[in-house]
Structure 1
Amino acid sequence: MTITIKDVAKRANVAPSTVSRVIANNPNISMRTKEKVRSVMEELGYYPNVNARNLVNNRTNVIGVIMPSASYAPFQNPFFPEVLRGITAEANEKRYGLYLSTSQTEEAILDEVKDMVHSRRVDGLILLYSTIDDPVIDFLLEKSFPFVIVGQPAEQLREAVSFVNNDNVKAAKMMTEYLLLLKHNRIAFIGGRSDAFVTIDRKSGYCEALEAAGIELDESLMVYHDEIFEGGEKAVIELMSRKTPPSAMIVTDDLMALGVLRMLFSMNISVPDDMSVVSFNNVLMSKLSTPPLTTLDIRIFELGYKAAQMVRQRILDPETPPKGLIVDHHLIRRATSKTYVE
C-alpha cells in the first residue's frame, strides 16, 4: 500500500500541511516537530515525490556547473575537483542536485547553456571560468537567469554579475615581491590561457611589482600555455632558450608548476639552488612534489562553497542585487624558493 502525507500526519498527530512544511524545511516549524515528523516518515517508509513538489514550486532543485571547454583539459587539473567539492558540500546541505556540463568546445558550451535555460533543466548556473567576451554571460544576462562566476567578470559587468574570486592582482604582486626580496631580478611569468581574467590579473600584479621595484619589463619572460603538466614543460623549454634565462619563475597553476619542475630536473637545473619556482592554488600534489612546491593557497574549496551559496540566494530571490565576494589567500613557503646568489 502506498504511504501518503495523510498517513504520516495521522501517525505524527499533526496536520498534513505541517508534514508538507517539514518536507520543505520551513523555518517556521519547530525542530521538535520536524524531528517527530521525520521519524514517522522513516518509520513508515514515506519518501516525498520530489518531481511533483518541484512542479508545484516551478523549480528543479538542480544547479548547473559549467566547466571550461574540454580543449583546456579541466579534468586533468586538480583545481576543478576541489572547487566542485566545495560546491557539492553546500548543495548537499540544501538538498540541491548538480548538473555538470562537459561540452568539448566553447560553441558547444553556449548551446548547452541555452538548452539548460530554455528547458528549465536547472534553477541556476555556476561558471567555473571567466574569459574576455564570453557569449554565455551575455546570454544569461539577457535572460535574467540566476548565475554566479568563480572568477572575475569583465570590468564593465562587475556591477551586473555576481562572482566569487581572489584578488589575483594583489596575490601575484605579493608573489613577485616575495621573489624580489629573495634577490631575484629576472623573474619569468608562466600564465595559462591569455584571454582568461585570472591570467590577465596575475600578469598585472606581476608587472606592478616589477615596475615598483624599478625593473624594466621583459616581454620575453612572459609565456602562456594550457594549465596542464605539459604546458609547464613547454614553458620551461621556451624560457630556458632565452639568451639570458630567468633565475625564478612564477607559475599561474600548480599542475603547470609540476611540469616546470620535471623539465628543470631533466635539464639538470637544481630547484631551488639554480632556479626558484613559485605557484598558485596549493592543491594536494604541491606538497607531494619533489621538492615540495612554494605556492599560494587560494582556498579553492571556499570559492566553490561560497559560489553555491550565492547562486542559491539568487534562485530564491532573483531581485537580490549582484555582488562580488573576494576570498583571501596566503603564502605557503616550502622548498622551491630561496635567496638568489650569483
Structure 2
Amino acid sequence: MVTIRDIAKRAGVSVSTASRALNNHPKISQKTRDKIKAIADEMGYLPNYNAKNLTNGVSNAIGVVFPPGEMSSAANPFYVDILMGINRELRPRNGVLSVAIANTMAELAANVSALITQGLIRYFVLLYSKKNDPIIKLLRAQKVAYVVIGDPNADDEKFVNNNNQLAGQKAGEYMLKKFNASRTLFVESEPEQGFERKRRLGFQQAMAAANIPSEVLKISEKGQMKLDDAVAQFLMTRQTIDGIVTADDTLGQMIYQLLWRHLDRSVPLICFNRNRTNNLLMGPSVRFVELYPQSMGAAAVRVLMDPDKKSEIIPFTIER
C-alpha cells in the first residue's frame, strides 16, 4: 500500500509537506500541490480518511435521522431502500452511515446531539420533512449541513423529493383511463402526512376535472383488529366504488386483503411505492406508482455534498 512517506520520497519533500499538499494547505504553493497530487495519482495513493478526519476534528459519516415514532419504522422497506441508496453513493466517497432513531422527539434530539458532539458528524439526511422541527433547529444551531427528503420548510433548505401532487394527479388519470372508474376512493393515514396530502390533492384534481365522485378514507394505526372491521364495514357500504388509490403500499395491502376477505371482489387498485418484498399485491387490476427510493437516497448524498446543489426531484412511473 502506497503511503504519504512514499509520495514524499518520490517528490523529494518532507512527509509533512506532502501531507499538507494533499490536504490543500494554503501555505503550500499551488505548483507544489499539483506536483504532489500528480505523483499520488500516478502511484495509486488512497488517503486514510479516518486519520484525516480525526485530524480535522470531523467524521466521514453521514447521520441519517428517522422520523420520531415506533422503532419498527426502521424496518419499513421504503426506508431500507433509501438507506441502500445513501450507502451506494457514500461508498466511492469512503463515507459510512450512522443512524438516529427514537420513539420520542426528545429522545431523537438527544441522539442527534450525541452524533454531533461525540461522533463529530457534520452532515445529516432527514428521512422526513416537518414544519417547526426541533431537530432542524438543533442542526441549524450547531451549524451542520443537512438535507430533507420531502418538501422543504424554508427557502434555503436543501431537499430531495418526488413531485407528489403531480404523481397523485397522474394516478387518478390512469385509474380513469385504464379502468374506466366512475366512483373512486383515496386512502391515507391518520394523521395525514405532508406527502400524502400532496398525493390526495393531485388525485382529487384529476377526479374533479373528469367530474368523477370521490371519497377519502383516513386510517389510523391504532387497534388493528377493530380497524380492519371498521374499514371492512366502510367498504361494504360502498359497493359502487370501482377504483381505489392508496397513499402507500402498506395501506394498499390492507385494502386489497379486506376486499378479498370480506367482499370477495376485486377493485382496481393503485398504490404509491412498490415494496420489493411484498408479493401479496398481485393481480391484473393492481398498479404501482414507483417512487424509486434508492435513487432518492443517492440524490440526498449528492445534494448534501455539493455546495452549489439545492435539490433533486426524482421522477416517478406507474407500472404493474
TM-score normalised by the chain length of structure 1? 0.76
- Residues 237-276 of structure 1: matches in 2 within 5 Å? 237=232, 239-243=234-238, 246-271=241-266, 275-276=267-268
Q: Hey, what's the Cα distance between the residues in 1 that align with 2:227 and 2:246?
A: 8
Query: What is the CA-CA distance between 1:95 and the residue it aligns to?
Result: 0.8
Identity percentage of aligned residues: 22
1:171 maps to 2:167 = yes
The one-letter code matched in structure 1 to 2:273 is: N
The 3 A distance-change label for structure 1 pair 134 and 49 is closer
SS in structure 2 of the partner of residue 285 of structure 1:
coil
- Residues 220-235 of structure 1: matches in 2 within 5 Å? 221-226=216-221
Equivalent residue number for residue 194 of structure 1: 191
Query: What is the CA-CA distance between 1:120 and the residue it aligns to?
Result: 5.7
Unpaired runs of 5+ in structure 1? 42-46, 315-319, 335-342
Q: Hey, what's the Cα distance between the residues in 2 that align with 1:89 and 1:288?
A: 28
The one-letter code matched in structure 1 to 2:287 is: T
Equivalent residue number for residue 122 of structure 1: 121
SS in structure 2 of the partner of residue 73 of structure 1:
helix
Q: Which deviates more, 64-73 or 86-95? A: 64-73
The 3 A distance-change label for structure 1 pair 18 and 153 is same
Equivalent residue number for residue 330 of structure 1: 317
Query: What is the CA-CA distance between 1:58 and the residue it aligns to?
Result: 3.0
Q: What are the superposed Cα offsets for residues 184-210 of structure 1, whole Å, 9 maximum, x if unpaired?
A: 132111113534211111111122112
> Any conservation in 2 of the 1:148–1:161 contact (CA below 8 Å)?
yes
Equivalent residue number for residue 309 of structure 1: 302
Query: What is the CA-CA distance between 1:32 and the residue it aligns to?
Result: 6.9
1:280 maps to 2:249 = no
Q: What are the superposed Cα offsets for residues 51-71 of structure 1, whole Å, 9 maximum, x if unpaired?
A: 4x2233232111100112342
The one-letter code matched in structure 2 to 1:284 is: R
The 3 A distance-change label for structure 1 pair 299 and 133 is same
Q: Hey, what's the Cα distance between the residues in 2 that align with 1:212 and 1:323?
A: 33
The one-letter code matched in structure 2 to 1:189 is: F
> Any conservation in 2 of the 1:232–1:256 contact (CA below 8 Å)?
no
The 3 A distance-change label for structure 1 pair 243 and 33 is closer
Q: Hey, what's the Cα distance between the residues in 2 that align with 1:309 and 1:173?
A: 29
Matched positions, count: 306
1:50 maps to 2:50 = yes
Q: What are the superposed Cα offsets for residues 113-171 of structure 1, whole Å, 9 maximum, x if unpaired?
A: 233334463111100112343222233334432100011133xx2x1210000000000
Q: What are the superposed Cα offsets for residues 308-331 of structure 1, whole Å, 9 maximum, x if unpaired?
A: 1111225xxxxx5x7232111111
Q: Hey, what's the Cα distance between the residues in 2 that align with 1:232 and 1:91?
A: 41
Query: What is the CA-CA distance between 1:236 and the residue it aligns to?
Result: 4.3
1:34 maps to 2:26 = no
Query: What is the CA-CA distance between 1:83 and the residue it aligns to?
Result: 0.7
The 3 A distance-change label for structure 1 pair 266 and 90 is same
> Any conservation in 1 of the 2:173–2:206 contact (CA below 8 Å)?
yes
The 3 A distance-change label for structure 1 pair 267 and 178 is same
Q: What are the superposed Cα offsets for residues 17-43 of structure 1, whole Å, 9 maximum, x if unpaired?
A: 44676699xx956677425153xx8xx
Query: What is the CA-CA distance between 1:247 and the residue it aligns to?
Result: 1.9
Equivalent residue number for residue 212 of structure 1: 209
